[in-house]
Amino acid sequence: MKIDPILSAIIDTADAANAAPDDYINPEDGLKYCGKCHTPKEAYFADNPPFCGIDRHPTECKCAAEEKQQREAERHEFERMSHISLLRSEAFRDIPAAAWRFDNASVMTPQLVKAREYAENWDSFSREGIGLLLFGNVGTGKTYAAGCIANALIDRMISVLYVGMSNVVNRMQGNFCADRDSYIKQLMRPDLLILDDLGAERNTSYGKECVFDVVNRRLLSGKPMIITTNITLSAMQKATDLDDRRIYDRILEVCVPILFNGENFRKGNAAENLKKAAELLKSPLS
């Protein structure tokens, strides 16, 4: 049967694209084989008579299929890493926590172990809308633990927003009506919201109203939040101020408290840095 010239040209083009110098025709079946992996680069049409004299079609040999799979895997990994990079840049706008990791912790405290377990069991906690209240003295690792959780989740492509509570209140005080509502919606959007340093914001009625608004709406959204604070659990439970009690009751309703009662790591780091500086100053100038 005579083949149409246009169809013949298309076939020749496809055949040339599917050809390599070492390819050969296997005399046993008459098909083209790859000279590298020795698997077919052609296949016969199944259960169909020849179309316009054509009885076979191009197919991928084993090595071509593996190369394609590798390219797809590399493309997927590139897209995954790009998405993670974007999530990380969006998560840490106020706090430089992008490098904080459980694996990099100088000391794996019991509190960090609990924080890691929270991240590892995120699916269950997220489904139930359960967060954490990390409380304790200054410099005991609350903020670091929250940052480690954030990075562990971001590595799984889970969206996080890590913001300072004082920045939240300042931002809300500077916005009105639609702008304020839009900002609160931004806080509700990520899978996990981390509010750092509760109690550092301005201690005014309006400031407390802003804190309550964010905490309450986050609770109603059903999404978890993590809150760090220097305020003790007993102070929260025994608060007499009505505005404070409204805030603390909402937090304790959905956040599991973890006490950070170890040494002040900031003081330890500062002492170590001063020691290193002193040693450098004693060294002769080059």
DSSP calls for 45-94:
PTT---BTTB-EEE---HHHHHHHHHHHHHHHHHHHHHHHHHHHHHHBSS
Q: What is the largest CA-CA distance in the chain?
A: 96
Instruction: Judge contact between 222 and 137, C-beta under 8 A.
Output: no
The label of the residue with tokens 């500077």 reads 174
Structure-token pair, residue 157? 């492509």
What pLDDT does residue 266 have?
A: 45
What's residue 216's pLDDT?
96
pLDDT at residue 1, rounded to an integer: 47
**Other beta carbons within 10 Å of 188:** 15
In 3D space, the residue among 124, 113, 184, 185 whose CA is nearest the CA of residue 149 turns out to be 113
Spatial distance between the Cα atoms of 214 and 208, rounded to a whole number of angstroms: 10
Tens digit of pLDDT at every position of the chain (286 positions): 455 565 555 555 666 666 788 899 999 998 999 989 999 988 888 766 666 667 788 888 999 999 999 999 989 889 888 998 888 888 888 778 888 999 988 889 999 999 999 999 999 999 999 999 999 988 889 999 999 999 999 999 999 999 999 999 988 876 666 688 888 999 999 999 999 999 887 778 888 999 999 999 999 999 999 999 999 999 999 999 999 999 999 999 999 999 998 655 444 444 455 555 445 455 444 3
Rounded-to-integer distance, Cα 21 and Cα 163, Å: 60
pTM of the prediction? 0.73
> Tell me, what's the pLDDT at 106?
84
